[in-house]
Amino acid sequence: MVAYAEREGADAELWGVTGLLHDADYERFPDMDDTEKGHPRSIMAELERRDVPPEMVRAIAAHADFLGVPAETPMERTLVAVDELCGFLVACAYVRPEGIHGLTPKSVSKKLKQPSFAAAVNREDVRGGAEQLCVEFDEHVAFVIAALEARADELELHGRDAA
């Protein structure tokens, strides 16, 4: 989110914090059918209570398609575009000795075609993300890989070779 915000000349702190918090209630309230507290309603209510910028709350709503809030602004579309992809790229990095380093869009596409690999990640969401941003899929994947690689220390993505 920070990398795309910087590329767009947008508010990198707002985008970054939105990315960090968008799933903050998921472990405690995973039941999305719970129309009162289910993810992401609890985190939205908590952030509203804390008077965060309303665009942060709206973006969090927009990443949950079942809430019927369409992703429209650049921040909203970017959150949707990077959410599942980041999870998938981290999963790819975990199974490689060299971690995130040297991971290519081509090998990511190969892994996407293996249904058993990181099975919880929705393939349609990953593929649809690039369309949301109107960028080529490989370009989008390469951009997000580079963004994660720049944070490989804090994300612990250096792989087994580093250990």
Rounded CA separation 127/112 (Å): 9
The residue among 23 and 156 lying less far from Fe ion, judged by its C-beta, is 23
Nearer to Fe ion, 63 or 140 (CB): 63
Judged by beta carbon, residue 23 or residue 46, the one nearer Fe ion is 23
Residue 23 or 138 with smaller CB distance to Fe ion? 23
CA dihedral 112, 115, 118, 121 (to 10 degrees): 70
Residue 40 CB, nearest approach to Fe ion (Å)? 6
For residues 27 and 153, which CB has a smaller minimum distance to Fe ion in the complex?
27
**Cβ-closest residue to Fe ion?**
23
Q: Extract the tokens encoding 63.
A: 């990443």
Rounded Cα–Cα distance for residues 74 and 12 (Å): 12
Distance CA 51, CA 5 (A): 22
Contact between residue 11 and residue 5 where contact means Cβ atoms under 8 Å apart: yes
Report the nearest approach of Fe ion to the CB of residue 21 (Å).
10
Query: Is 58:51 a contact under the CB 8 Å cutoff?
Result: no
Q: Tell me the closest approach of the beta carbon of residue 85 to Fe ion, in angstroms.
A: 13
CB of 96 to Fe ion, least distance (A): 26
Give the interface with Fe ion as residue ranges (CB under 5 A): 23
Are the C-beta atoms of 34 and 66 separated by less than 8 Å? no
Minimum distance, C-beta of residue 146 to Fe ion, in the bound complex (Å): 24
Residue 11: name the closest of 45, 44, 53, 49 by CA.
Answer: 53
